[in-house]
Amino acid sequence: MKFSKSSDLALHGLWQLAVKKKKMLLVAEMARAQKVSETYLAKVFQKLARRGLVKSTRGKKGGFTLAKSPAEIAITDVVRAIETDEPLFTCLGPERGCRGGDQCELKKVFAEAEQRLYDTLSKYTFKDLIERSRADCRKAWLG
């Protein structure tokens, strides 16, 4: 189990925006930094824009800026914006005549585990992580 490549892309793109402290980064610039196509990067960042995490500027010189300060963006906000709402565990019970629904005990356990995971990701913002990070982890994204 792992988060999608789109989540990785979103996290690193926001990290780059937060570290560079420039008002705007071009789509081309961000895509080059992450070695992905501009189309793919733009698609992922439109999802972040819809959740109010970044603002987009259209056109040939189009790009993205942070819509909030790094202190206001928790890691969970990013992952929630990108990942689907599909639960961790799929109950096959209904196909077999179990009408437990939300009362399915396996489902409840996985829902609790998922909540713990997102609670942890809620505790940290980009500001926290950048402040604690090694200098070379910040510098790597400045080029």
* Binding residues vs its own copies (CB under 8 A): 1-5, 7-8, 11-12, 15, 33-35, 75, 79, 83-84, 86-90, 92-93, 95-100, 103-106, 109-110, 112-114, 116-121, 124, 128-130, 132-134, 136-137, 139-141, 143
Least CB distance to its own copies at residue 49 (A): 21
Q: What is the largest CA-CA distance in the chain?
A: 58
Nearer to its own copies, 61 or 101 (CB): 101
| 3-class secondary structure, 66 | strand
Nearer to its own copies, 10 or 27 (CB): 10
Nearer to its own copies, 28 or 129 (CB): 129
Under 8 Å between Cβ of 31 and 41: yes
Least CB distance to its own copies at residue 70 (A): 12
Nearer to its own copies, 55 or 80 (CB): 80
Least CB distance to its own copies at residue 24 (A): 20
Query: Residue 66: which region, alpha, beta or left (left: phi > 0; alpha: psi -120 to 50)?
Result: beta
Query: Residue 54: which region, alpha, beta or left (left: phi > 0; alpha: psi -120 to 50)?
Result: beta
Place of tokens 């909540």: 115
Least CB distance to its own copies at residue 117 (A): 4
Q: Quick one: 55 exposed, middle or buried, by C-beta within 10 A (0-12, 13-18, 19+)?
A: middle
